[in-house]
Amino acid sequence: MDSLCLFGCHCCILCQGGGGGVDGRAGPGTIAEALIRGLPIILNDYIPRQEKGNVPYVVDNGAGVFTRSPKETAKMVAEWFTTKSDELKRMSEKTHKLEHPEAVFDIVRDIDELARQREPSNFPYLLTSSFTSLI
């Protein structure tokens, strides 16, 4: 780990490499990208009723932490790079247990299966043959 990327005021993610990272707030897309990359997450806020469940998902599974305090965030990051590097490594390993890099294809397959079960309709959006070959 050699760089720290901060994004907005909703999350910060420790990044590997120089300057790369995951863009966006602490929503499910950002969390999914971080998990796939093995990046521990510090969440410091969430949108009520929309992102609230993301906090226990990340924290309870050991893939990151939650704090609203900027001072606590700074302290955690400093410790991860010094005295608690083993904690950072452990969280990084746990992120891989939660990753689902093929999830988008699973979702498309499920939607396609449901669409095929329906009666014919005037629904104007059908999957093209080039796309269905991917699923």
Determine the pLDDT at residue 62.
Answer: 94
Q: From 32, 55, 56, 52, select the one nearest 43 (Cα to Cα).
A: 55
End-to-end CA distance of the chain: 35
Taking 70 as the threshold, does the pLDDT of residue 34 lie above it? Answer: yes
pLDDT in tens, 66-102: 888 878 888 988 888 889 889 988 988 998 898 888 8
* Least confident stretch, 2-6, 26-30, 39-43, 58-62: 2-6
Give all domains of the chain, ordered by start, each with its CATH number: 15-103 (3.40.50.2000)
5 pLDDT tier (thresholds 50, 70, 90)? very low
22 pLDDT tier (thresholds 50, 70, 90)? very low
Determine the pLDDT at residue 134.
Answer: 57
Q: What percent of the chain has pLDDT over 70?
A: 68
Determine the pLDDT at residue 17.
Answer: 39
Determine the pLDDT at residue 132.
Answer: 54
Q: What percent of the chain has pLDDT over 90?
A: 8
Q: From 105, 81, 94, select the one nearest 34 (Cα to Cα).
A: 94
CA 82, 86, 91, 96 dihedral sign is positive
Rounding to the nearest 10 degrees, give the CA dihedral for residues 117, 124, 131, 24: -100
